[in-house]
Each structure stands twice: as structure tokens, then as C-alpha cells.
Amino acid sequence: MIPMDEFAQVAFKRTRIMAVLLLGVVPVIYLAVGQLVEVVPHEVVPHEVVPHEGGESDLLFYILIFLALAQPALYPIIERVQISNFSKAVNRTMKPAQFAFTIALTKLAMVDAIYIFGLVVYFLSGDLSRMLMFYLPGLLWTAIYWPRESSFEELLKKLERP
């Protein structure tokens, strides 16, 4: 492999820093918020007429857990579209390393969304164990999409093709 130039090395280091922040520090902060914020479940007043009896948070949990498992798998499609658009651009203002950083941020944001799904479920249901269930697919996708120098160089090759 051709070694990365200095600009690409800086872009890769920035990608790694963002990965540590988005996929390491931020989920810990979400967990701390879940521990510190007490969510009081909605209470139904006996004399109120309620047309249906809850279940929305259960449905939301199942929808979001499915998204947490499936959403990052769509990333290769998004990456192909981004690379195609980049190669079609006639007057590019971004260097390939800058665009590779942007693509990597998209990937990291998709994985970070899984942890956010867990926090949303916690705020709606008050069940911390449900929030923690999102950490399993989050950790899986974090391991899969963690920025590696070899994959960054491979992405740069794709972007530098005419």
C-alpha cells in the first residue's frame, strides 16, 4: 500500500479522535444521564377516560432495537453513493482525505445513533435495562466500524480513482 501523505494522516487522526469521543465518551455520558435522571412513569388518573392503554413505549422499543441492529448495515450503500457523487464532481473543493473524514463521520454518527435510541427509550419508559440493551448492538457496530488505518487507506484509494 502507498503510505498516506501528511494531510491524510492528520485526517485519519481526527477520525480516530472523533471515534473515541462519539463511540467511547458519549455513550458513557448517556449511561451517566440514565443513572442520574429519574424518569417517573406516566400515571393515569382514575377519573380520566383513556381511549387505549399504553404500549407505545414497547412498540417504540422494538422498532428502535430493530433499527439498531439493521441501520449500520446500510452504511456500505451510503458510502458507495457518497463516493460516486465525489467522483462525479467536476470542480471539487475537498481533497480526498477531507472527504474520507466526512464519510467516516457519517459512519460514526450512524453508530452513535444506536446509543441515542437507547437513551430515548429510557426517557420514554423509565426502564434502564432497556437502555442497556442498545449497548450490545452499539458495541458490536462500534467494533465493526472502528476506524482502522487500512480501511482509511482503502477509502482514499477509492476516492482518488478518476
pTM of the entire structure? Answer: 0.84
121: CB partners within 8 A, 6+ apart:
57, 60, 61, 64, 127, 130, 131, 134
Instruction: Give pLDDT tens digits for 107-117.
Output: 999 999 999 99
pLDDT of the residue at 162? 60
pLDDT in tens, 45-70: 555 555 545 577 889 999 999 999 99
Res 43 pLDDT > 80 = no
